[in-house]
Amino acid sequence: MLINEGQSRISKGNDQSAGLTRIKNQILNQKMSKSSILISLGLGNHGLQMIFNAKEIVKNILCKHSAKYIFIGFLALVSCDDRQVFDSYKTIETRGWHKDSIVSFNLPEMDSLKQYNLFFNVRNTNDYKYSNLFFITSIDFPNGKKQLDTLEYEMAKPDGEWLGTGATSIKESKLWFKEQFKFKEKGNYKISIRHAMRSNGSEQGVLFLKGITDIGFRVETKETQ
């Protein structure tokens, strides 16, 4: 069984895998930088009155148009997800993801003429102690054929900051699997995945991989067909 060393978020391990595909975690995990606006006003009572008036104007605008902005934001969220074809999650056991535990997703029948983008969604907490993540994946075709891949994803920056997004302690990463993939055969496909992690210096795979809470699989239509 192919097992790979994880890179600790403190010290990096060595990669000893052959035929490994490295895929950087770089999509939809980009954090928008915040811009700041500095308004300089004169000192004294006149300056304070200007600040007060400005605050009141902004308050009135927000109150008047808040419903409009909320509606526009809702439409934006819906439009961002209009390419979704399949999106499902499986929860990992609390004690950790066992090295022999396989997470599988049975897909509905897809249009054989269309192209799709395939993703893995991974949710992790700070209990995950590695900066990378190794997967062994398989695609089971309707005709019985099986396609295997060994993949590595970056999960954290060199300074330890997670690449995933999320306001809470749980971070979510959307990871590329296949681009412009065609389900050419009629019938149902199955996607399976298990982790292939080992600690630095260890010959044995990590028995229970802690810190991964959920594994998801997502299918999107290609932007332009």
pLDDT band at residue 201 under the 50/70/90 scheme: confident
Asked whether the predicted pLDDT for residue 86 surpasses 80, the reply is yes
**DSSP bridge pairs for 90:** 215
Question: Looking at residues 187-209, what average pLDDT do you find?
Answer: 93
Average pLDDT (29-35) is: 38
Residue 174 within any structural domain of the chain:
yes
Q: Does some domain include residue 136?
A: yes
Is residue 35 domain-resident? Answer: no
Question: Where residue 194 sits, what CATH number does that domain have?
Answer: 2.60.120
Does pLDDT of 131 surpass 60?
yes
Residue showing tokens 């895929």: 23
Return the pLDDT at 62: 46
CB atoms within 10 A of CB 159: 7
Coil, strand or helix at 96: coil
Structural domain contains residue 62:
no
Please answer whether residues 116 and 222 qualify as being in contact, where contact means their C-beta atoms are separated by less than 8 angstroms.
yes
pLDDT over 90 (residue 46): no
Per-residue pLDDT at 35: 32
> Is residue 144 predicted with pLDDT exceeding 80?
yes
Average pLDDT, the chain: 78
Range of the domain at 164: 4-29+85-221
What are the residues whose beta carbons fall under 8 Å from the beta carbon of 170, sequence distance 6 or more?
123, 124, 125, 213
Average pLDDT of the residues in 156-177: 96
Instruction: Enter the pTM of the model.
Output: 0.70
Q: Which of 43-52, 54-63, 96-105 has the lowest mean pLDDT?
A: 43-52
The stretch 192-213 carries a mean pLDDT of 93
Residue 139 has pLDDT above 80, yes or no: yes
44 found inside a domain: no
> What's the confidence (pLDDT) of residue 2?
42
Total structural domains in the chain?
1
81 vs 17 pLDDT, higher one = 81
